[in-house]
């Protein structure tokens, strides 16, 4: 059986991912995790610390453990890996309960640029761009950072479009990605 810290973090992960960080209070997390309030505060100190731990966990589970791993499993060539992102997104967008990107959601929920959770979300989004820049470098793209920023705009736009109900958002982003790669002269 998972310890109190793990149960709290797992519960917070599920609730924050699906409902946002503002909508979910610590009392609900405590009740649904089956732990005591003291256990939460002994392990996290505050809701803010719990949100930061959630974002770290999201980076581990979603960014590295799922998205990057799935992209690397599906394709060998860097350009094909970039396009595979949208294939993975297509399956994600089709899931019942698609919740969007927690990093984007938290960043938008917390407009104060000094908020530690907002800053952490921005750092996690930057880490995704670093992954994209690495793929762009491997594909021989000039200005890999600029390319990664363009690709990341496609990714974030597809997520928002899927949240609006566009069932073809991933496919549309895939098509735009092919155009971007062709314009850069890289299709490795």
With a cut of 60, say whether residue 6 has pLDDT above it.
Answer: yes
Residue 67: CB atoms within 10 Å: 19
Q: Which residue, 35, 27, 148, 12, is CA-closest to 82?
A: 148
Task: Look at domain 1-45 and name its CATH class.
Answer: mainly alpha
pLDDT band at 188 (very low <50, low <70, confident <90, very high): very low
Distance CA 60, CA 177 (A): 25
**CA atoms within a 13 Å half-sphere pointing along the CA-CB vector of 52:** 12
pTM of the entire structure?
0.92
pLDDT tens digits, 53-82: 999 999 999 999 999 999 999 999 999 999
With a cut of 60, say whether residue 140 has pLDDT above it.
Answer: yes
CATH, domain 49-183, list 1.10.357.10, 3.40.50.360, 1.10.260.40, 2.40.160.40: 1.10.357.10
Residues 9/57, Cβ–Cβ less than 8 Å: yes
* Domain extent listing, the chain: 1-45, 49-183
Residue 55: CB atoms within 10 Å: 24
Q: Per the structure block, which two tokens stand in for 75?
A: 């394709």
Distance CA 188, CA 172 (A): 21
């Amino acid at each position: 059986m998972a310890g109190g810290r793990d149960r709290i973090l797992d519960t917070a992960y599920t609730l924050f991912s699906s409902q946002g960080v503002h909508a979910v209070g610590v009392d609900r997390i405590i009740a649904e995790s089956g732990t005591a309030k003291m256990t939460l505060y002994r392990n996290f100190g505050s809701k803010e610390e719990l949100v930061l731990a959630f974002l770290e966990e999201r980076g581990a589970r979603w960014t590295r453990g799922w998205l990057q791993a799935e992209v690397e499993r599906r394709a060998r060539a860097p350009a094909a890996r970039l396009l595979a992102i949208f294939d993975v997104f297509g399956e994600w967008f089709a899931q019942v309960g698609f919740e969007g990107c927690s990093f984007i959601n938290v960043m938008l929920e917390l407009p104060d640029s000094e908020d530690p959770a907002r800053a952490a979300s921005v750092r996690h989004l930057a880490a995704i761009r670093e992954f994209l820049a690495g793929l762009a470098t491997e594909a021989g793209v000039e200005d890999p950072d600029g390319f990664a920023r363009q690709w990341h705009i496609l990714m974030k736009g597809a997520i928002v479009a899927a949240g609006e109900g566009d069932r073809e958002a991933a496919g549309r982003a895939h098509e735009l990605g092919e155009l971007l790669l062709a314009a850069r002269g890289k299709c490795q």
